[in-house]
Amino acid sequence: MSTAPEPLDHADEQAHRTRRQAEVVSALAALLPAHALLWRREETVPYECDGLTAYRQAPLVVALPETEAQVAAVLKACHALDVPVVARGAGTGLSGGALPHKLGVTMSLAKFNRIVKLDPLARTAVVQCGVRNLAISEAAAPHGLYYAPDPSSQIACTIGGNVAENAGGVHCLKYGLTLHNVMQVRGYTIEGEAVTFGSEALDAPGLDLLCVVIGSEGMLAVITEVTVKLLPRPRLARCVMASFDDIRKAGDAVAAIIAAGIIPAGLEMMDKPMTAAVEDYVHAGYDLEAAAILLCEADGTPEEVDEEIGRMRELLSRSGATRLEVSRDEAQRLKFWSGRKNAFPASGRISPDYMCMDSTIPRKRLADILLAIQQMEVKYRLRCCNVFHAGDGNLHPLILFDANSADELQRAELFGADILETSVALGGTVTGEHGVGIEKLSSMCVQFSPEERSQMLRLKAAFDATGLLNPGKVIPTLQRCAEYGKMHVRKGLLPFPELERF
């Protein structure tokens, strides 16, 4: 990374920062209207963090371009001045991907909020990067279409942020991630050159660069426009809610459904502490005695849904469900989901702070990881509620703690790292949909070898030779991993080692 060398002394550092700020402000003032350039401390406070509020950093400057020409000009100027650029959408990300760089420009793309074109016959929408996820489905609804990926923050999060993170949601087992639902993105390189990845067709010539750009957390290019696929809205959706007195039985029920050849539209699990927390919040009538609750959804034509719900009921009963309820109508279906969708705010009510993890494991390891987390609760003396996208093995353990106690914060961080490393050892990954950002940098040392990390750094350099786009995120340096001091867990060609603690 080639940002200007930083003096060591604090006073020197301050002076350096002030000088840099004046330089950047003067360069950008020539390119942007006055209201689109913020640098006074009181103006930049709202940009100091994203959804991961534990990490904060004042940006050097905030730029709010209103046109693509301004985006290109700001990038060119930053490139010329050797200033890092951090692109930012709605700031709802949970891994600190949009955390400012202390000597960098935070580029807010909030003003790019227009749906450029919606073509119902082609089933595509061309939208600017700052359009909210849910706004796309709302605009498509009159045509009987919708945009499938539905992260929990879909009311607020933007499509540009979804592209940066390769966002998922509760329906991605059946309908895929952002990657599977985006055809083309347009944006700018750090040099300020216009670039298009993907096409209006189902493939594009050359390497499939869309695959690496989606999920690259703003480190390869700044995306300004996205062409998404729209799907026909299923005529009907119904949900089965099943209770289990044993977590292992619930895990086996998930496997049984998949083994029977059913791909549910949604397949979610909550453990007992989580169920108690959400019931207290939404009063949906959840079974408070259950060790685990499964929500299992079927969608399609009425005939198809009836057939699938019947098969799912039978499989759930056979797997030992102690209580089964099928949604009678749309209102009840939404009620079943209300608790799952409100897992985060519900956790916020029972604890001053919570830390949300996001690892993925092979489905068959669900019970193993849950039991391991129970042991970690004892070890770290902290409580943890668990919600899972059980269908695809994506876990969201919510570690409850009080950030006012430095000791609790530290224990929570160790607890989180332990969950991630255990997930990798079980054959999984440290992040399923929230991204690495700043939060999981150290855990990347465990998941990838030094050679793999070097390869990813060279990949970044192929797009951004100067390393100015969102530097310091996603891929840890070799030095950081050496300091972290934990071993890389082998995977791929060698059988992964079983951890002794199981």
Partner 1 sequence: MSDAALNRLIDRVQSARAAHAPLAIRGGGTKDFYGETPRGEPLAMGELRGITSYEPTELVVTARAGTPLADLEAALAEQSQCLAFEPPRFAAGGTVGGMVAAGLAGPSRAAVGGARDYLLGATMLNGHCEVLSFGGQVMKNVAGYDVSRMLAGSLGILGPILEVSLKVLPIQPARATLRFEWAQAKALSQLNSWAGQPLPIQASAWWSDMLVLRLAGAAAAVESAQRVLGGELIAAATADGFWTGLRDQKDEFFATAAKAVHAGATLWRFAVAQTAPPLQADGDQLIEWGGGQRWLVSTAPAAAMRALAQAAGGHATAFRGAKTGGVFTALSPVLQRIHRHLKGAFDPEHLFNPGRLYPDL
Q: 50: closest CA among 97, 85, 91? A: 91
| Region label for 427, one of left (φ > 0), alpha (ψ between -120 and 50) or beta (otherwise) | left
**Phi, psi (5° rounding) for residue 145?**
-120, 165
Near partner 1 in 298-357, by CB under 8 A:
300-301, 303-304, 306-308
Site for partner 1 in 26-65 (CB under 8 A): none
Question: Does residue 367 belong to the site contacting partner 1 (CB under 8 A)?
Answer: no
Q: Between residues 260 and 288, which has the closer beta carbon with respect to partner 1?
A: 260
Q: Nearest approach, Cβ of 275 to partner 1 (angstroms)?
A: 23
- From 19-27, 177-185, 345-353, 373-381, span contacting partner 1 (CB under 8 A): 177-185
* Nearest of 210, 207, 217, 209 to residue 183 by alpha carbon: 210
The residue within the footprint of partner 1, chosen from 25, 54, 156, 459 (CB under 8 A), is 459
Least distance (Å) between residue 502 CB and partner 1: 18
What number of H helices and E strands is found in the chain?
18, 18
Judged by CB under 8 A, the chain residues 149 through 168 that form the site for partner 1 are 165-166, 168
Piece of the chain touching partner 1 by CB under 8 A; list 20-28, 37-45, 49-57, 489-497: 489-497
Q: How far is the CB of 228 from partner 1 (least distance, A)?
A: 14
Out of 180, 283, 379, 501, the residue judged to bind partner 1 by CB under 8 A: 180
**Which residue, chain included where needed, has tokens 């002394």?**
9
Answer for which of 461, 478, 482, 487 binds partner 1 (CB under 8 A) is 461
| Cα–Cα dist 197/205, whole Å | 10
When binding is defined by CB under 8 A, the residue of 8, 42, 458, 485 that contacts partner 1 is 458
Question: In whole angstroms, how far apart are CA 213 and each of 8, 293, 439, 451?
Answer: 35, 37, 20, 21
* Contact present, 240 and 309 (Cβ < 8 Å): yes
- Pair 281, 328: CB distance under 8 Å: no
Among 59, 218, 432, 467, binds partner 1 (CB under 8 A): 432
| Closest distance to partner 1 from the beta carbon of 160 (Å) | 16
The helix or strand, by DSSP H or E, that contains position 343, with its residue range, turns out to be helix 343-350
- Number of residues binding to partner 1, judged by CB under 8 A: 98
Structure token digits, residue 306: 């009836």
Q: Say whether residue 499 binds partner 1 (CB under 8 A).
A: no
For residue 374, the one-letter residue type is Q
Is residue 211 within a helix (H) or strand (E), and if so which, with residue range?
Answer: helix 210-213
> Between residues 234 and 320, which has the closer beta carbon with respect to partner 1?
234
- CA separation for the pair 87, 106 (Å, rounded): 6
> Should residue 465 be labelled a site residue for partner 1 when binding is judged by CB under 8 A?
yes
Site for partner 1 in 257-286 (CB under 8 A): 258-259, 261-263
Q: Which of 203, 330, 407, 483 binds partner 1 (CB under 8 A)?
A: 203
User: Using CA of residue 72, residue 76, residue 77, residue 83, what is the dihedral sign?
Assistant: positive
Which residues neighbour 240 within 8 Å (Cβ) at sequence distance 6 or greater? 294, 295, 296, 297, 298, 309, 312, 313, 316, 324, 325, 326, 327
5 near partner 1, judged by CB under 8 A: no
Instruction: Please state, in angstroms and rounded to a whole number, the distance separating the CA atoms of residues 339 and 280.
Output: 9
Nearest approach in angstroms of CB 307 to partner 1 is 5
245 belongs to the binding site for partner 1 (CB under 8 A)? no
Spatial strand order of the sheet with 37-38 comes to 37-38, 61-63, 105-108, 85-88
* Residue ranges in 87-146 that form contacts with partner 1 under rule CB under 8 A: 119-123, 143-145
45: which DSSP letter? G
Looking at 108, 137, 153, 216, which residue binds partner 1 (CB under 8 A)?
216
217 Ramachandran zone, left/alpha/beta (phi>0; psi -120 to 50): left
Asked if 400 touches partner 1 (CB under 8 A), the answer is: no
Q: Can you tell me the distance from the alpha carbon of 294 to that of 297, in angstroms, rounded to the nearest whole number?
A: 10
Q: Quick one: 54 or 258, whose CB is closer to partner 1?
A: 258
In the complex, minimum distance from the CB of residue 25 to partner 1, in angstroms, rounded to a whole number = 29
- Of positions 25, 134, 156, 195, contacts partner 1 by CB under 8 A: 195
Closest separation between CB of residue 166 and partner 1, Å? 5
> What 3-state class would DSSP assign to 429?
strand
User: Least distance to partner 1 from the beta carbon of 360, Å?
Assistant: 4
- Reference 261, options 301, 308, 303; nearest CA is 308
Contact segment (CB under 8 A) with partner 1 among 16-24, 130-138, 347-355, 390-398 equals 390-398
Nearer to partner 1, 256 or 276 (CB): 256
11, 378, 406, 493: which one binds partner 1 (CB under 8 A): 493
Interacting stretch for partner 1, rule CB under 8 A, among 242-250, 326-334, 411-419, 430-438? 430-438
Identify the residue among 429, 466, 477, 499 touching partner 1 (CB under 8 A): 429
